[in-house]
Chains A and B, each alone.
Chain A
Amino acid sequence: MLKYLLPIGLFAVLVGFLYFGLGRDKETLPSPLIGKAAPVFELTRLDDPAKTFSNSELAGKAYVLNVWGSWCVGCRQEHGALLEIARRGEVPIVGLNYNDEREAALNWLEQLGNPYVVSAFDGDGRVGIDWGVYGAPETFLVGANGKVIKKHVAPITVEIWEQEFVPLLSQAKAGSP
């Protein structure tokens, strides 16, 4: 009887996908980008669609790239931490506004505060693909030599910043690999 076999068939498909999802675990897989040159992008600025921003403008400087979106609950959670990191001013934070709508994103920054020196608007997520973004929020540290030094998936906290990012900052600024 086919109709009685249907549930187990659907279940098998689901388990297959879940197994696949498991194999691609995000946190344990190191980003293939680490130690490689950060992908260069040029996008319109979030606050002004008439102007563009490219991360090549930051060549020779260390910076943090934070992937965020106004739809993302984790981003909201980490926002306070980002504001604190921005306040310390150790390194500029560039926002990559990922898969978002411009108006919603601008409202978000207005309401919660803006930790970013600039946010690039990646409305269709193409730049996110270049950077291997699995899902917001993700935070990258890029060194003065233009290489990706560190990637953190999931909301960042001040504690994680202090323990995992700050020790890498001098290396990042010096630009040595």
Chain B
Amino acid sequence: MAAELGHFALILAFCLALPQAFFGLMGAHWRRPHWIALANRAVAGQWVFTLFSFACLSYVFYQNDFSVLYVAQNSNSELPTFYRFAAVWGAHEGSLLLWLLVQATWALGVAAFSGNMPQQMTSRVLGVLGLISAGFALFILMTSNPFLRLWPAAPDGRDLNPLLQDPALAIHPPMLYIGYVGFSVPFAFAVAAMLEGKLDSLWARWVRPWATVAWMFLTCGIALGSWWAYYELGWGGWWFWDPVENASFMPWLIGTALIHSLAVTEKRGLFKSWTLLLSITAFSLSLLGTFLVRSGVIESVHAFASDPGRGLFILSFLGVCVGGALGLYAWRAPLFRSNAGFAPVSRESFLLFNNMLLVGATVVILLGTTYPMFMDAFGLDKVSVGPPYFEAMFLVPMLPMVFLLAPGMHAAWKKASFESTKKILGVLLGVAVVLALAVSAGVYGWNSVMTIVGLTAAFWVAGAALVDPISRWRNGHSLPASIVGMSVAHFGLALFIIGATTVESYKEETDLSLKPGQTTEHAGFQFTMTKLEDVAGPNYQAVQSEVVITRDGEQVAVVHPQKRVYRVQKNAMTEAGIDAHWNRDLFVAMGEPLGEDAWSLRLQYKPMVRFIWLGAAVMALGGLIAICDRRYRKRVTVDEGAAAAAGAKTA
């Protein structure tokens, strides 16, 4: 019964998305206030029914109703309750329903927090969001219905993919989706501005918090995914340049460019058409990512069931949404030319470089990800580009970007002279070089020039990020949240670079065979296997070893790596034993049994690896602080709005 109710609610949600789109767009176009009001109601209704539908699906999972095909495919009576809920989005159908719920929630958020925007703008934005919702609801109903019954019912389910039975991965997809879908809001704002033919500083001020929130969630989602891959896939890497990872990273890069470009549009009324294009691109890449993952065009470990019918639908949807928006762009963008100028050395130019380099990095990744497909299309040799391509090529735009960041943060608008900050930036750079040399030569041992370059960049950015808040605080100036947020986010980037550079330069790994009672030495630590035992989990069997780690006779940690075999799907999974410390991880993973109680073990020493995720978390925190800025909450009166618009024109 719950499944049928959920299905019915989903149909109703679709039916409400259509009037949301129609009344939202046409109400604004023909200026009919009661139509606009109707669109707002449709948003609320759509959200209620989508939520209800989602709750129904969760309920059938909770009930272990194996007469529902999707439940039978992705759950099992032995699956712990927590994972039964996570299993809702464990595969294609349910994760799309999650997508729709997130989409509806964003629309509700726009409707609720748009008090300071003109009604027509809000109405157009909601209309565009309604169109997107309608497309996704139709997609679920036509190709990916999670409520289909299975008759006769299965006696038990096929279980959730063991890779996904992990707390970090349970919350990773919702985070990622909130980010992906969140970019639909700037997209909708961009379309609305183009329909209206008007784009001013106020518009940028409305969009900024939405873009930042989406970016924040995407940052968290990607970091969680990386953390999960690190300890769950069992071989200790933190980024694999897998197509699915790239699919989430590209919108992130463009989203980062967008929030910077929006800053220019808000402060100076410049980069208008560029900001529009980035708004469209960020969401397009989110959709493209979905297409790549779902359609089977590119094979990947993460790829869910691939189905050409679904692929065709997403591709058509992508064509309509993005093609429509870009068509509109070609027609309307010439309206938004701005004549204000800026000197070659100014914050505008630094942000322009930032944008170019971020877009360049995105192009590098897009080419690498889709290259095999292009080669295939031309009937040429199938060449796969692996991590070496990405690692080398990604640094080309990123390195200059990071080095431009420190002066960029301190450049003035219009024309920067660096008179007041030249000295402190120089000193910081000197300190950064010395620190980098000290760390690499003194702490870890000389490695390579790239290590020094990476650490120097990180220390410089970290120092430069703190200059502004500290000097404002010392001089008793006010410290707006947006400045603190920017500094925190850039500081987070520095932490990330420290982590990534150090772990890639100084990680030590070895593979060896160990029996209970034997000891081995690795990276200055002694690893002793003390026990080997069989343990049973709720839905798996495991061999677990106990490894005691000591250093100079003192016990550092005891870890319990496992090799699990899940009963239903029979895949072997590696649960690494990790001793985490702020400045290093010790990572023990079990490989294969080698007979007579001996196991192959992979031991890894990972210096500063935590800084990678810490850095990402701090970046997201910076975003959170920035959106708390007072000016986003202030109601803008018509006069003030007109003044700001005029200011942007004359400035």
List residues of A whose CB falls within 8 A of some B CB. Answer: 1, 4-5, 7-8, 11-12, 14-15, 17-28, 69, 71-74, 76-77, 80-81, 83-84, 99, 110-113, 125, 128-129, 133-135, 153-155, 157-159
Given the known interface contacts A5-B330, A15-B319, the answer about A112 and B381 at a Cβ–Cβ threshold of 8 Å is no
Minimum Cβ distance to chain A for residue B228 (Å): 14
User: Given contacts A11-B326, A12-B323, A25-B296, are A20 and B377 in contact (CB under 8 A)?
Assistant: yes
A-binding segment of B136-144, B297-305, B498-506, B514-522: B297-305
Given A73-B240, A133-B382, A22-B315 contact (CB < 8 Å) = yes
A18-B291, A76-B235 are contacts. A4–B333 as well, Cβ < 8 Å?
yes
- Can you give 19 contacting A-B residue pairs, CB < 8 Å? A4-B273, A4-B334, A14-B370, A18-B295, A18-B297, A18-B318, A20-B377, A21-B295, A22-B297, A22-B311, A22-B315, A25-B295, A71-B386, A73-B242, A99-B384, A110-B511, A125-B383, A134-B382, A135-B382
Given contacts A83-B592, A111-B511, A113-B600, contact A73 B384 (CB under 8 A): no
Instruction: Select one of B235, B372, B570, B592 contacting A159, CB under 8 A.
Output: B570
> In the bound complex, what is the Cα–Cα distance between A116 and B164 (angstroms)?
29
Instruction: Indicate whether A25 sits within 8 Å of B322 (C-beta atoms), given known contacts A73-B240, A73-B301, A80-B572.
Output: no
> What's the least CB distance linking A94 to chain B, in Å?
20
Assess the A15–B572 pair: CB atoms within 8 A: no
Taking a contact as CB atoms under 8 Å apart, the answer to whether A128 and B382 are in contact is: yes
Contact (A27, B323) CB under 8 Å given A7-B277, A18-B315: no
Verify A155–B301 contact, CB threshold 8 A: yes
A15/B301 contact (C-beta < 8 A), A4-B334, A8-B323, A111-B602 known: no
> B327 at interface (Cβ–Cβ under 8 A)?
yes
Return the chain B residue nearest A17 by Cβ: B377
B387 within 8 A of A: yes
Give the distance to chain A from B153, nearest Cβ to Cβ, in Å: 20
Q: Are B312 and A22 in contact (CB under 8 A)?
A: yes
Given A22-B308, A74-B301, A111-B602, A157–B382 Cβ distance below 8 Å? Answer: no
Q: Digit string of B570-584 for contact with A (CB within 8 Å is 1, else 0)?
A: 111000000000000
Would you call B623 an interface residue if the criterion is a C-beta within 8 Å of the partner chain's C-beta atoms? no
18 more A-B residue pairs beyond the given contacts A4-B334, A21-B298, with a C-beta to C-beta distance below 8 A: A8-B329, A17-B373, A17-B374, A18-B297, A18-B373, A22-B308, A23-B308, A27-B306, A28-B308, A73-B242, A74-B299, A74-B301, A99-B383, A99-B384, A111-B511, A111-B591, A125-B383, A134-B376
Closest to A76 in B: B235
Interface centre among A12, A22, A129, A134 (most CB of B within 10 A): A22
Interface residues of B in 268-307 (CB under 8 A from A): 273, 277, 280-281, 284, 288, 291, 295-301, 303, 306
Least Cβ distance of A1 to chain B in Å? 5
Do B318 and A15 touch across chains, with their CB atoms under 8 A apart? yes
B569 interface hit (Cβ, 8 Å): yes
Report chain B residues within 8 Å CB of A22: 295, 297, 308, 311-312, 315
A112 touches B327 (CB 8 A): no
Give the chain B neighbours of A27 by CB distance below 8 A. Answer: 296, 306
Contact B376 A73 (CB under 8 A): no
Q: Which of A7, A18, A77 contacts B329 (CB 8 A)?
A: A7
Interface size on B, residues (CB 8 A): 56
Please pick, from A4, A23, A24, A26, the residue contacting B330 in the complex, using a CB distance under 8 A.
A4
Tell me how far the C-beta of B1 lies from the nearest C-beta in chain A, rounded to whole angstroms: 32
Instruction: Tell me if B373 and A21 are in contact (CB < 8 A).
Output: yes
Within the complex, the shortest CB–CB distance from A136 to chain B, in Å, comes to 8
CB-CB under 8 A from B377, the residues of chain A are: 17, 20-21
Cβ A25 vs Cβ B306 within 8 A? yes
Distance to closest chain A CB from B392 (angstroms): 14
Beta-carbon nearest neighbor of A74 in chain B: B301
Please report the C-alpha to C-alpha distance between residue A20 and residue B373 in the assembled complex, in whole angstroms. 9
* Residues from chain B with Cβ under 8 Å of A157 in the complex: 569-571
Contacts of B281 in A (CB 8 A): 7
CB-based nearest B residue for A23: B308
* Known contacts A4-B330, A26-B296, A73-B240: A158-B570 contact under CB 8 Å: yes
With A18-B291, A73-B300, A157-B570 as known contacts, state yes or no: A24 contacts B326, CB within 8 Å: no
Question: Cβ of A76: which chain B residues have Cβ within 8 Å of it?
Answer: 233, 235
B384 touches A135 (CB 8 A): yes
A160 CA / B511 CA spacing, docked (Å): 30
Q: Which residue of A lies closest to B291 (CB)?
A: A18
Chain A residues near B312 (CB, 8 Å)?
Answer: 22
Bound CA–CA A24/B511 (angstroms): 40
Write out the residue numbers on chain A whose beta carbons fall within 8 Å of the beta carbon of B299: 26, 74, 134-135, 153-154
Complex Cα spacing A57 to B600, Å? 33
Q: Is the CB of A77 within 8 A of B301?
A: yes
Which of A71, A80, A154 makes the CB contact (< 8 A) with B387?
A: A71
CA distance A17 to B367 in the complex (A): 12
Interchain nearest-CB distance for B139 vs A (Å): 15
Which residue of chain A is the closest to B312 with respect to CB atoms?
Answer: A22
- Provided the pairs A22-B312, A80-B571, A111-B600 are in contact, do residues A7 and B591 lie with their beta carbons within 8 angstroms? no
Name the CB-closest residue of A to B384.
A99
Q: Which residues from chain A contact B298 at a C-beta distance below 8 Å? A: 21
Give A11 to B319 CA distance when docked, in angstroms.
9
